[in-house]
Structure 1
Amino acid sequence: MPKELTLPEGLIPPELPDPPATPKDAATVMLVRDTDVGIEVFLQRRVSGMAFAGGMTVFPGGGVDRRDADTSLAWHGPPPAWWASRFSCDVGLARALVCAAVRETFEESGVLLAGPSEDSVVFDVRPYSEARAQLVNRELSLAGFLAESGLVLRADLLRPWANWVTPAEEKRRFDTRFFLARLPVGQRADGATTEAADTRWGRPTDTLDEWKAGRVGLLPPTWTTLAELEDCGSVEDAMTRERTIEKLMPKVTREGDVLRLVLPDDPGYDTAAAHLSPGDPT
């Protein structure tokens, strides 16, 4: 992780919460597509006033809803037990994480990873615009929506990518599983979400260059994932890569007036301070 990747002012409280907040299970999805200039990923800049990561450029995603664990929905692809083995969690949570990934992707980008049969994907999502709004407002569950619409959840369109846990210093914490998904043919991602100030497609390389120039803000998991996607020559390359998924929980260190995150392979990880008031050295 580069030394210049620092945390926004005010993101981390000066005192370590006692006890630390329990991380909330969440899912985020890197939606990707091939272009003439290489792989692109869908990004959204969060509204600046949001309590968590306001103003930062991120991938679509959000917390698991208790109804995401509903076992009644039609499912095609790797079973929950397979996802549980990849994300090192129980089967019920694995099911909920996959469902949350599909639901959040639809809510925040309008892309629906489901189809009328096990070998088809929705081509035109416009008939489901009302259901999308009801999902956002929690008036409808994903299982209820898919059942009413006669759709099958396509877990085979997702790939497991990573698992990041918010540092213990943060008041709002998430245990987030990262998924990769190819943009289905005929569908388009939009910016019709109140959580984003703007949305766009971008090459990982270009987005990292914008970050270097100070034009976008990236949190360490987003930066790291973009750097990993930068190494992929195509969507197929990314989708077929075998990845070992380990739970990554960075720690916060202070260097002068700057806060940085360090990972377990960093020499400063074990000595990271638990108290980060401005006068504390690290």
Structure 2
Amino acid sequence: MTIDKTAIRNAATVIVIRDRMTTPSILMGQRGAKAAFMPNKFVFPGGAVDIGDADIPLASALTPQCAARIGEDIDPALAHAIPVAAVRELWEETGLILGQKGEWQGDVPPDWETFAATGHLPHAEPLQFVFRALTPPGRPRRFDARFFLVDVDDIASDPDNFDAACDELSHLQWVPLTKARSFDMPFITEVVLAEVEARARDLNAPESVPYFKNNDEESLFLRLKGKTPTYTGGD
């Protein structure tokens, strides 16, 4: 299958946080020097939604509030696929399991065979939707990315064991929030990082989710509340 490099791809990114009430840190890794999108940058694990993600069963769904906000301004069919992609990308890029014990029914898709072999089903309920950003025009890749915050206590595997990770991210490490800004990261990662810093010790869902909507006509800063997005100004 040929991928249209000019198309906007839906994506999911996961920010895993640990020791959030004391000395919070987040999991980050470095993209390869030859990567077409954001080479050498330190990022959170994540990637594009695959067509097959829509058919993957979840042990638990997003909370109703997160689901309502995810569902704004998108094809309804994506509401299930996006959190599935978040769990898959976290597994592929870090080897961490966001899952609940359970047996898969029927054939397991190739992309999920290693995850299924751990004896888990993907677990979306702990994912807290905290940010959405559409890559501006003119970039080599464009993504409509949803960022999820998840507490390390909801990870079903050893948070320091990255042995099952693929090689897409190197130098996987827990970065103290107080030192994260010293890393070379994309602008949007810095923006999301500020949101995480503000919410690090707050276990409740945000009152609204920031949405940087950089379309071909204008750049908007919206707030997603689970209904019609609220415009709060922008260029």
Fold similarity call, TM over 0.5: yes
Q: Which residue of 2 is the match for residue 196 of structure 1? A: 169
Letter in structure 1 aligned against 2:69: R
1:15-54 aligned at under 5 Å gives the runs 21-34=6-19, 37-54=22-39
Q: Distance in 2 between matches of 1:196 and 1:31?
A: 15
1:218-229 aligned at under 5 Å gives the runs 218-229=185-196
The one of 228, 232, 237 equivalent to 2:199 is 232
Q: Distance in 2 between matches of 1:140 and 1:97?
A: 18
Task: For residue 176 of structure 1, report the CA deviation from its aligned partner.
Answer: 0.5
Larger gyration radius, structure 1 or structure 2: 1
3-state SS of the aligned residue for 2:199? coil
Name the one with the larger strand percent. Answer: 2
Structure 1 residues without counterparts, runs of 5 or longer:
1-19, 118-134, 211-215, 252-261, 270-282
TM-score by length of 2: 0.76
3-state SS of the aligned residue for 1:78? coil
Say if 1:94 and 1:34 are closer, same or farther in 2 by CA, change over 3 A: same
Structure 2 residues without counterparts, runs of 5 or longer:
103-107, 222-231
3-state SS of the aligned residue for 2:19? strand
Q: Which residue of 2 is the match for residue 248 of structure 1? A: 212
Task: For residue 25 of structure 1, report the CA deviation from its aligned partner.
Answer: 0.6
Q: Which residue of 1 is the match for residue 77 of structure 2? A: 92
Letter in structure 2 aligned against 1:85: A
Say if 1:263 and 1:206 are closer, same or farther in 2 by CA, change over 3 A: farther
TM-score by length of 1: 0.64
Say if 1:186 and 1:78 are closer, same or farther in 2 by CA, change over 3 A: closer
Letter in structure 1 aligned against 2:212: L
Task: For residue 109 of structure 1, report the CA deviation from its aligned partner.
Answer: 0.8
Task: For residue 84 of structure 1, report the CA deviation from its aligned partner.
Answer: 4.6
Quote the RMSD (CA, aligned, Å): 3.1
> Alpha-carbon deviations, 1:124-143, whole Å to 9, x = none?
xxxxxxxxxxx9xxx7143x
Task: For residue 230 of structure 1, report the CA deviation from its aligned partner.
Answer: 1.9
Q: Which residue of 1 is the match for residue 226 of structure 2? A: none
Q: Within the alignment, does 1:176 sit opposite 2:145 as a pair?
A: yes
Q: Distance in 1 between matches of 2:122 and 2:15?
A: 18
